[in-house]
Each structure stands twice: as C-alpha cells, then as structure tokens.
Amino acid sequence: MNDIKQYQKLMRKCLSLAKKGEGKTSPNPLVGCVIFDDDFNIVSVGWHEKYGEFHAERNAILNYKGDLKGKNLIVNLEPCCHYGKTPPCTDIIIESGIKKVVVGMRDVNPIVAGKGIKQLQNSGIEVVEGVLENECKKLNEIFIKNQTEKKPFILIKSAVTLDGKIATKTNSSKWITGERARREVQRIRNLYDAILTSSNTVLSDNPSLTARIKGGKNPVRVVLDRHLKTSPSAKVYNDDGTKVFLFTSQKNNKKYPKNVCVKRVSEDKNGLDLNEIVSELWEEGIRSILVEAGGKLNGAFVKEGLADKLVLFVAPKILGDKKGKSFVEGFDIDDINNSQILDMVSVKRFEPDLMIEAGFKY
C-alpha cells in the first residue's frame, strides 16, 4: 500500500475520533488526531473532546508517554497557531520533535488560514496537505459556514411518505418512520446548537424538542409564534435547564417559565422576518440551527435562501390524500426547469426507511 492510501486510512481514523466530540465542541470544529511511526503504526490518538479544553493534537501528544522525536502526526484540520482558550497546537508539535504533519484541510478561520502550516514548515517539519479533503470539509460544514459567512448553518429535517406527505389531513403523523430513523433524528438533534419550530407544530404535536440520547445535550429551543398562540404550559417551554427563545411580532402579555426569552421581531410578507431571527440567534451564540417544522415554515426558509442542507427520512408508505400535508410549501412553479435544485450528498438506509441528505443550491 502506497503512502497516500496509508494516509487516507489514518485520516479516516482521525474523522472517526473527531466524531467523538459531536455536540460538545461548538463553536469549535470537530478534530481528531493520530500519531504514527514510519511503518504507519499508530502510537497515540486524541480528539477535541469539549469546547474550552485541549485540542486534538495536544491531547494526542500528551497521551503518549515516550519520545515523539521522529514520529508523524495526521489531523483532519490544520493545527492552530494562536492563543485562544488553549495554547497553540503548532508550539507543542514543534517542541515534541514530530518530523511530519499530514493535514486534511486548511483552517478557514482567518486567524489560522495557512499560518499554522507555514509555522510548521518554517520549523523544518514536512507538511502534506489535502488528504480526504472533501470528507474533512463535510465533517466541519457548520464551522466552515460560521467562519466564512458569519452566519448559522441551517438544516431542514423532515420525515415523509413516498408521496411526500408529513401528515394526513387530520394532522395524524405519529409515526411516519420507524424506530431506527427516529434514533438517528435524536443523534442529529445532539449535533445542533438550536432546534427551531413553528407555533403550528407546537399546537398540533406539542413536542418536547429534546435530544433523547445517552450522554447528549438538549439543543436550545426556538419557537416562532407570530401571534403568541401557544400556551406557556406547552412541553417545548418546560424549564428543564434549557434556554428557549420565543420570537413574536406581538407585545407579550403572557407569563412563560423563566427559561423562556421572548423576543419581538419584525414581520415581512411571509410572516416573521426570518433573516432578522437568524441574525438574532447568531448574536446569541447560536452557530447551527435544526429546523423541524411544517411545510410552510420549511418553504419560507428555502425561499429566503437560508437553508443549507436537507435531511429527509422517507418511509415506504403512501397516503394518497391530496389534502395531506407536504414537507415544503409556498412554491408556485410552472416550469420544471425552475425547480429548486439540490446537490445529493448521501442516501442511507435506516430499515425500513431511507435517509436522503442533500445541499441547497441558490
């Protein structure tokens, strides 16, 4: 096996390690690191375990108790070269005597952005770049958008029948998908800073919007309630220690639990101003938003060009009811060539359902 294939094998290990930090590192990226010898034997590993704690490279180096001089290091993201919550990773790499660093992708954070690699090279360390770069970028798609656009990454998640329905005309929707798909939804919720829904969803389903996953966290909950129709006793507002943002255009005269922050925002022709809401959430430190709502709100996010990705769970069921509810509404397209185009990312099986992952193109 040549060096490139060996690097790819080790990079997949880095990506697997990085995922151990899912739901714990925001607003930092997911990073895994492997230290190996010239025969490509792994001698130490590490990953970024939690925001504010040591980065993956420092953990991998500290986890090795012997002499690292002449060893090699591989990491999915360029090592940092600045002081933040922790010291620069480049410093400890240089001090350790490591001779070669293999990098998946350059950091898009302008504070780093090639400077970490330059510092390593100036210290005589060989640097190999671009190993499984696309896979590395996909892993940290949230971080990349945050750094390049200064906006939250937004995912629309929905579960539909084969004919694209999320509920019957009587709002019956539990459950469209099977248990395995629903477990995957809990895992996805754990990845995001906030989960957003509409007042209509709260009124019809009374969801808790929690991440029921072992060792996971509950994302911040966000409710868009233009006319303050929802009851303060709805499950979504339960004071379980999780912050809730309630956006409305009305003056609030209701008494919500202490964890609920009511924010008044502007309206546009489609209802509440989504751009203003997204900007407010960014200012509140929200770097990723999972939208779990009905077709109207899903459609509004798409029409405004705010959604980055779609995850659609498709069940082998057919409603066949023309009055059934679609997962996206608000489009009136006459020409098929004017359809909203998406880039297919992946299709996975969660027996008996399929999960389609696709990115929006605007």
User: Looking at 57, 78, 184, 292, which residue is catalytic?
Assistant: 57
The pair of three-digit structure tokens given for residue 278, joined into one six-digit string: 């997204």
Is 57 a catalytic site residue? yes
Place of tokens 């929690």: 210
Catalytic positions, please?
A: 57
